[in-house]
Structure 1
Amino acid sequence: MTVIVTGAAGFIGMHVADALLARGETVFGIDECNAYYDPALKAARLAYLRDRHGAAFTFAKLDFADTPALDAAVAGLDIDRIVHLGAQAGVRYSIENPMAYARANLVGHLNILELARARQVRHLVYASSSSVYGGNDSVPFRVEDRTDRPLSLYAATKKSNELMSESYAHLYRLPQTGLRFFTVYGPWGRPDMMMWIFTKAILAGEPIPVFNAGRMERDFTYIDDIVAGIVAALDAPPADDGQAKPGGSMGPHRVYNIGNSRAEQLGEVIDVLEQAIGRKAIRQDLPMQAGDVVRTCADVSAIGNDLGFAPTTSITEGVPRFIRWYRDYHGV
């Protein structure tokens, strides 16, 4: 039996595929490997998986929003479960290129739902985002909070994914779990995210953009904690028992926050980066950006109560691990 992992060349997808393969699963990865950020990094992640796991990992480079291509790639596969992590990411890029989000995050998600329905998979776990909370000022964010006021198109597509999944859970009794990720970082991370951008600039002696004078707070979650939560969710499909699930569904569909449950001030995270790198940052104060929010923090009580999820990695542990990987990867 095969587990499909979409976004397998991506940051979280690679780590999830690695964890599943390490425990003996057979994984079929799917990724378009587009140029949103350096495709060489995506190729390196795939090479890492192939080197570690050999024939247990197979991969198809394709756009999962392309229905005929997706159908052809999975023809003949005995699909057991799907971890759908592929998406067009990034809040700010959604302002510049909205059509990429409509294709990957809306059409693509529907294609994966259709595949899961047609193959009657045991469980579909998919990526949502903390961005769905929009301008919510009730912190920490709870899965019961309103999520109908998105501040970016990216957030709107992720909320749409949750709604589409709810309809499939109702119509077809398809077991699903949506995970609202909170600012994930760690080795093999994404070059468009703060931790990578700041590290690169500090090492080069260049200024770093500090929005809202550093008075921004994020729930930074280390990749190992995220993977533990995803795998725990995958292993425990929601029951179709008519009982309300986290997120409000009465069907076999639940939604969890998955984060570190601690809001870190941007200025303090920069302090930790400086210490780990051994060099001071040149801080360039900038105003808030469109579509951004001041603070995020996850209430993880639902996933903790149901699945035993308990993040363990603080930024003082996780940031130095990322810096060590970054220096090794770049040879700096």
Structure 2
Amino acid sequence: MKILITGTAGFIGYHLAQKLLKRGDTVVGIDNINDYYDVKLKHARLLDAGIKVSDLAYNKPVCSVKHPNYTFIKLDITDKQNLEQHFQTYQFDAVCNLAAQAGVRYSLTNPDVYIDSNVKGFLNILECCRHFKINHLVYASSSSVYGLNKKMPFSEHDIADHPVSLYAASKKANEMMAHTYSHLFNLRTTGLRFFTVYGPWGRPDMALFIFTKAILEGKPIEVFNNGNMLRDFTYIDDIVDGITHVIDQPAEVNYLWDAKKPDPATSTAPFRVFNIGRGAPVSLLDFVSEIEIQVNKKAIKTFKPMQDGDVAETCADVSNLNEMLNYKPQVSVHTGVERFIAWYKKFYHIKNITAGTVLVQ
């Protein structure tokens, strides 16, 4: 297939592009390469995929020197005019929208960028998919949409209408917008509610990256809610396997959908929403212990209360994705953390990881 992936300089987008390229798909990647976190890391991901950073210019297609079937374009999805031109040029079979302003805590102080990217930008994607007859739109939602829900595990069949951050609200808005386009224009859409994705090339604002860096540098880590946190940590390889299965099986109408007992996960339109996680939450303190074991160094913990916009526990019910698309996470937290630490050491040129001896460049 010819697939557009937005956000390919990002963590999940980078890995998904690699997966699809290896199986022979033609991939066009789009990313605005913003400075929400270290641009050097985004450039490094692109370089690893064969995109020469020196060739980057806004709205200029750059061909990979490693993958003849990969083209990258530095572009913001809020730029509707240029976005439409590329839809016209490439005639995509499917679109996977991973471009978004990420981060729960950042949304507390920078709300405008979430509306621009996550709402206006997503509207542009929907409009392009509508007008250029895209067969399937897959897009990133988030486990954060569950908000105040306490029923565990989180199920797509339960109502999720009480978000506790603007980031979560923007992701819930994406789902509602997608349903509208599925209903009005018969656009096949699938939303994926990601649960705490981690692994090599991960985001520096996520727990594993923050904790690893601080522990190696001998700095304290902040442990919120006094450590009483559970997270459904899901390794990146399991995530991209799941996304690939979803892309290959476009959403269909649920002919058994009952308007008197509406199921939020499906519809009379070709619309669906899936959880995509591991389905086995781990305590934050156990997660920290795993990092300590891998780097052979104890963390200096500073315990703090719960932060605004955060939730104490996440756990994904992944039975729908398993039953419909044979999604089966394989990577344990032990193996996942081990692989991340190995990547981190190599990427940042860290040697001699022993207690008290750390070289960081």
| 1:44 match | 44
Instruction: Measure how far apart 1:246 and its partner are.
Output: 6.7
Q: What percentage of residue pairs aligned between the two structures are identical?
A: 51
2:87 and 2:132 in contact (8 A); partners too: no
- Following superposition, the deviation at residue 241 of structure 1 comes to 5.7
Structure 1: gaps spanning 5 or more residues? none
- Would the alpha carbon gap of residues 246 and 234 (structure 1) be closer, same or farther in structure 2, given more than 3 Å must change? farther
Work out the CA distance in 1 between the residues paired with 2:145 and 2:106.
Answer: 16
Q: Name the counterpart of 1:77.
A: 90
Change (3 A) 1:52 1:254: farther
Q: 1:159 maps to what in 2?
A: 172
Which of residues 304, 323, 341 is equivalent to 1:286? 304
Separation in structure 2 between the aligned mates of residue 135 and residue 184 of structure 1, nearest angstrom: 21
Q: What is aligned with 2:31?
A: 31
Post-superposition offset of 1:242: 3.1
C-alpha distance in structure 2 between counterparts of 1:239 and 1:91, whole Å: 31
Once the 2 structures are TM-superposed, how far is the Cα of residue 278 of structure 1 from its aligned partner?
0.8
Aligned match for 2:265, one of 247, 265, 273: 247
Q: 1:170 to 1:192 in 2, by over 3 A?
A: same
Question: 1:177 aligned to 2:195?
Answer: no
1:200 aligns with 2:213: yes
Normalising by structure 1, we get a TM-score of 0.98
Whole-angstrom distance in 2 between the partners of 1:320 and 1:246: 37
- Indicate the SS of the match to 2:192: strand
2-structure distance, mates of 1:295, 1:113? 32
CA contact (8 A) 1:60 1:73 kept: no
Q: CA–CA distance in 1 between the matches of 2:254 and 2:217?
A: 56
The answer on whether the counterparts of 1:242 and 1:251 sit within 8 Å (CA) in structure 2 is: no
Structure 1 equivalent of residue 9 of structure 2? 9
Aligned residue number for residue 342 of structure 2: 324
Structure 2 residue identity aligned to 1:20:
L
Q: In 1, distance between residues paired with 2:264 and 2:13?
A: 24
Partners of 1:243 and 1:120 lie apart in 2 by 26
Deviation at 1:75, TM superposition (A): 3.6
1:56 is aligned to 69
With normalisation by structure 2, the TM-score equals 0.90
- Tell me the SS of whatever aligns to 1:269: helix
Deviation, structure 1 residue 53:
3.6
- Count residues with an aligned counterpart: 332
Q: Which runs of 4+ in 1 moved over 6 A?
A: none
Residues 177 and 253 in structure 1, CA contact (< 8 A), matched pair in contact too: yes
Higher helix share: 1
CA RMSD of aligned residues (A): 1.2
How far apart, CA to CA, are the structure 2 residues paired with 1:287 and 1:263? 20
2:145 counterpart of 1:132: yes
Matched AA of 2:10 = G
| 1:52 CA drift (Å) | 7.3
The runs of 5 or more residues in structure 2 that have no matched partner are 51-63, 258-262, 351-361
